[in-house]
Structure 1
Amino acid sequence: MKRYLLPLCAVTFLSSPVQAEEFTPSYTEWQRTAQNPLSPNFRLPLEYNFYGNAPAGNVNVLSFAPIMPIKFDGWNIINQLTLSVMWTPGDITGIKGLPEPYTGDGHGGSDGYAAGLADTDFTSYFSSTIGKDFTYGFGPTFTFPTDEPTRELGSGKFSMGPALMLVYQPKQWTLSLEIQQIWSVFGSSEREEVSQMIVQPSIYYNLPQGWYLLSDMQMVANWRSNSEQRWTVPIGAGVGKLFKIGENAINSRLGGYYNPVTPDAGPTWSMNFSVEFIFGN
């Protein structure tokens, strides 16, 4: 009996890591999760955006946008709250949250720049899947004027509207499209009404060991501007790396974009960097 005990223990010891590995998501699975904003995982992303070469100066935006899912049988509610700190000289548009050029009386320093809390966004997607590769979501989006209406760190208006997201993930690709449209409801009478649309197509191509290439061009349309000053259309690309940490993951990415179409008061290029902690289900 004893002579069978050692081989049995050895087999058990050797098989345990294999069995544990079966329950650990692979890089491919984590990449699909990280690149699908509608996946029902709790996330904590931190993103920095720099918008350069606008006539009035540059804009810096640091955003914290936790994603908080609520799971149902066959459906999910994907809630995202976006808190942003902005640094801007004013008189800049062509950016989400800055629908018209404006310079208020809230400058924060001798260089003419203002800094502080920008408008706060909240979006809630009702989401489900078709097959294993296609995810869709729809719901409302809101913008709250959390900056002072006399400053240039936001729109000065409470706005709301519909949002739609489609995500398709064949093999090592992720293709997605997000569309949001907001209209102002009430706010400062000194500020212009808001009608702004965000269209963001995204393309990801996954590489081994958590690496991937990406292009997520956030196009902005301010409908109250005349047709020559309405659109911001970027082109560009970036690179990302996903790191597995036990049952969780960290997703990091860096991108740069040039705006061949931009309003006269808008930036001509931008860059962004983000780090996101993703919790496993």
Structure 2
Amino acid sequence: MAKITLALSAAAALAFSVSASSAQESGNDLAKQLSNPVASLISVPFQFNYDSGYGPEDGNRTTVNIQPVVPISLNDEWNLISRTIVPVIWQDDIAGSSGRQSGLGDITQSFFFSPKEPTASGLIWGAGPVFLLPTATDDLLGAGQFGIGPTAVVLKQSGGWTYGGLANHIWSVAGEGDRPDISVSFLQPFLSFTTANAWTFGLNTESSYDWKNDQWSVPINLQVSKLVTFGAQPVSFTAGARYWAESPENGPEGWGVRLAVTMLYPK
């Protein structure tokens, strides 16, 4: 009986060890997929951002970006990745003594046509259109213009490393006649490392250049994420800091904060 009990205990310990190892590997893989903007993975991030230093009144803005990513299989070789950014904004004196505004900002909708398999050299890429939708509920929360343009992403994943870049350019093609036209380029080079136990350390910029006003916005983001599982539900938690290396006149200055919770729905 003692030998049987010992054997059963050893088998249980081995099964637990294999299960834990498998779960860790699964978590590591999901965490790496989160670093890939065109991964075949449904995710719903809720991203909190706080920035200050706007204008002469030292205004501030809090933005919660709801950013669902939905991959759609087109055939055996191609995916269509839908990436949506829905900003919900609270701001105070961002344009001098402009008071407080809150509500929905302009929605950005991107579509990437992306091969399901990397290239022979390991490159992952996607390209397609991007749209700016004038959904803001207040003039100071959006541009009042409908915009369209191209977007593309290219990256490589090797070991725990992910590096690459995402870019788009949006021109306004319709909108309110008394609002200025838009011609803005967005550049997001990124670098991250994911550990075996699903920690991810990332560095990126989310820079934009306003061609109409000849102005750069260059926030540098440093963040750390951890993927955990609640029952069968994987969730990623992110915390980070942002430094505004360059911003438009009366734009944000100094340091900002980013926090995020991302729900994952692997196939």
Q: Could you say which residue in structure 2 is the equivalent of 1:136?
A: 125
Alignment of 1:192-207 (within 5 A): 192-207=180-195
Q: Is contact 2:60-2:94 (8 Å) kept?
A: no
Q: Could you say which residue in structure 2 is the equivalent of 1:61?
A: 63
Alignment of 1:1-150 (within 5 A): 24=23, 25-55=25-55, 56=57, 57-71=59-73, 72-89=75-92, 112-128=99-115, 129-131=118-120, 133-148=122-137
Deviations 1:2-52 (A, max 9, x none): xxxx9x999997876677678754333122111112111111110111121
Give structure 2 stretches of 5+ with no counterpart: none
Which of 138, 162, 176 is the aligned partner of 2:150? 162
Give structure 1 stretches of 5+ with no counterpart: 1-5, 93-101
- Report the residue type matching 1:113 in the other structure: R
What is the Cα deviation at residue 268 of structure 1? Answer: 1.2
Q: Is contact 1:201-1:216 (8 Å) kept?
A: yes
Tell me how far apart the structure 1 counterparts of residues 162 and 122 of structure 2 sit (CA, whole Å): 9
Tell me how far apart the structure 2 counterparts of residues 26 and 273 of structure 1 sit (CA, whole Å): 24
For the residue of structure 2 that corresponds to 1:33, the secondary structure is helix
| 89 and 83 in structure 1: CA distance in 2 versus 1, 3 angstrom threshold | same
Q: Is contact 1:89-1:114 (8 Å) kept?
A: yes
TM-score of the pair, normalised by structure 1:
0.81
User: 2:183 matched to 1:181?
Assistant: no
Tell me how far apart the structure 1 counterparts of residues 65 and 180 of structure 2 sit (CA, whole Å): 24
What is the Cα deviation at residue 256 of structure 1? Answer: 1.1
- Report the residue type matching 1:29 in the other structure: D
- Report the residue type matching 1:154 in the other structure: G
Tell me how far apart the structure 2 counterparts of residues 260 and 250 of structure 1 sit (CA, whole Å): 31
Which structure: greater strand fraction? Answer: 2
- Report the residue type matching 2:208 in the other structure: V
What is the Cα deviation at residue 188 of structure 1? Answer: 0.5
Q: Is contact 2:54-2:94 (8 Å) kept?
A: no
Provide the identity percentage: 24
- Report the residue type matching 1:122 in the other structure: Q
Tell me how far apart the structure 2 counterparts of residues 116 and 81 of structure 1 sit (CA, whole Å): 17
- Report the residue type matching 1:127 in the other structure: S
Stretches of 4+ moved more than 3 A in 1? 8-25, 89-92, 244-248
Q: CA RMSD in A?
A: 2.9
- Report the residue type matching 1:83 in the other structure: V
Tell me how far apart the structure 2 counterparts of residues 208 and 14 of structure 1 sit (CA, whole Å): 21
Q: Is contact 1:247-1:279 (8 Å) kept?
A: no
Tell me how far apart the structure 2 counterparts of residues 115 and 30 of structure 1 sit (CA, whole Å): 34
Q: Is contact 1:158-1:186 (8 Å) kept?
A: yes
| 22 and 115 in structure 1: CA distance in 2 versus 1, 3 angstrom threshold | same
Q: Is contact 2:241-2:258 (8 Å) kept?
A: yes
For the residue of structure 2 that corresponds to 1:176, the secondary structure is strand
TM-score of the pair, normalised by structure 2:
0.85
